[in-house]
Amino acid sequence: MLNLHLPEHENSFLQALARVPVKVKKRVPLVHHITNYVVANDSANAMLAVGALPVMAISGKEVEEMVSHAQALVINLGTPSEDLMASAVMAGKSANAHSLPVVLDPVGAGATQYRTKNALRILREVKIGVLRANPGEVGSLLGYRSPMRGVEAERTHTDSAALAVQASRSFGCTVAITGQTDYVSDGHKLSILYNGHHMLTRVTGTGCLASSLCAAFAAVETDLLVASTAALGFLGVVAERAALKGKGPGSFRTALFDVMYSLGGVELVTSLRLEVKKV
């Protein structure tokens, strides 16, 4: 049953969302990850489950060449180091040179000055297509004091919808903020997604999975608001269905990949709880 809060003229937006997972399976995009060792395996499995191909080349000796073969790039700063940062900048500039979408996941921005500075460096030196983060990370990049515990955002009174719009306009990219409710903005429109399940917070790296999905979807969809809305909506619907199958974090994690593999575009949009607004 549809539970959508969209003006009638936005039906074309829904149709575009439905097409994205189908195009991923048809085109099988290669998604290059500069990522952290905590989530590399699950990110790779998520790509395979949705029909994309993953590669996790990090060495500065090959990242530029590897990017030239890819259709999208993820830069994930979950375990930052000087070597990873150098590779991230090289890969990002190579992706820009080849007109590939770049997704930045500034894991833990705000937790330490080092992480925040590295994320801001990427935003300065690389043209980012999608910034996917939690509210605390986005707030920190905008200069707000956002409470963090480790690399996780704590409860904040900041309006995530306003954060998404402000960050999009400030950084010149699409911003996808994940949380209990997800928000995606390109500075002109705002998607609000109400799908998801609390079990996502009991499995490491589900935010990173969201970033990988944004990249896979951006590889086949040039409208990054559509791509990112589809990606976050996809993960939210998948989580709801996986929670019905799983009995705890372990079985839920396994069910995530099973549902990713089987969820189609029509099933996606008919399960979405979504609003789209002009801002």
Measure the CA–CA gap between 107 and 204, rounded to whole angstroms. Answer: 12
Residue-range domains of the chain with CATH: 8-278 (3.40.1190.20)
Paired residues of 213 in beta bridges: none
In angstroms, how far is CA 241 from the centroid of its own chain? 19
Mind listing the pLDDT tens digit of every residue in the chain (279 residues)? 344 455 555 579 999 999 999 999 999 999 999 999 999 999 999 999 999 999 999 999 999 999 999 999 999 999 999 999 999 999 999 999 999 999 999 999 999 999 999 999 999 999 999 999 999 999 999 999 766 555 454 444 469 999 999 999 999 999 999 999 999 999 999 999 999 999 999 999 999 999 999 999 999 999 999 999 999 999 999 999 999 998 899 999 999 999 999 999 999 999 999 999 999
Q: Exposure string (b/e) for 42-69, b if CB count within 10 Å is 16 or more?
A: bbbbbbebbbbebebbbeeeebbebbee
DSSP state of 163: H
Residue located via tokens 């969201």? 210
- Distance (Å, rounded) from C-alpha 110 to C-alpha 154? 11
Q: Which two tokens stand for residue 274?
A: 């979504």
Task: Compute the half-sphere exposure of residue 202: CA atoms within 13 Å on the CB side of its CA.
Answer: 16
Residue-level length of the chain: 279
The whole-number pLDDT of residue 171 equals 98
Q: Assess contact for 72 and 99: CB atoms under 8 A.
A: no
| Single-letter amino acid, residue 269 | V
Q: Which two tokens stand for residue 129?
A: 């297509």
Alpha helices (runs of H) in 28-159, residue ranges in sequence order: 40-50, 63-69, 82-97, 113-125, 135-141
| pLDDT score of 234 | 98
Give the contacts of 134 (CB within 8 A, at least 6 positions apart).
152, 153, 177, 178, 179, 207
Position 7 scores a pLDDT of 53
What local confidence, expressed as pLDDT, does residue 147 receive?
A: 61
Q: Phi-psi bin for 49: left (phi > 0), alpha (psi -120 to 50), beta?
A: alpha
Give the residue from 67, 43, 61, 65 showing the smallest Cα distance to 211. 43
Per-residue model confidence (pLDDT) at position 145 = 77
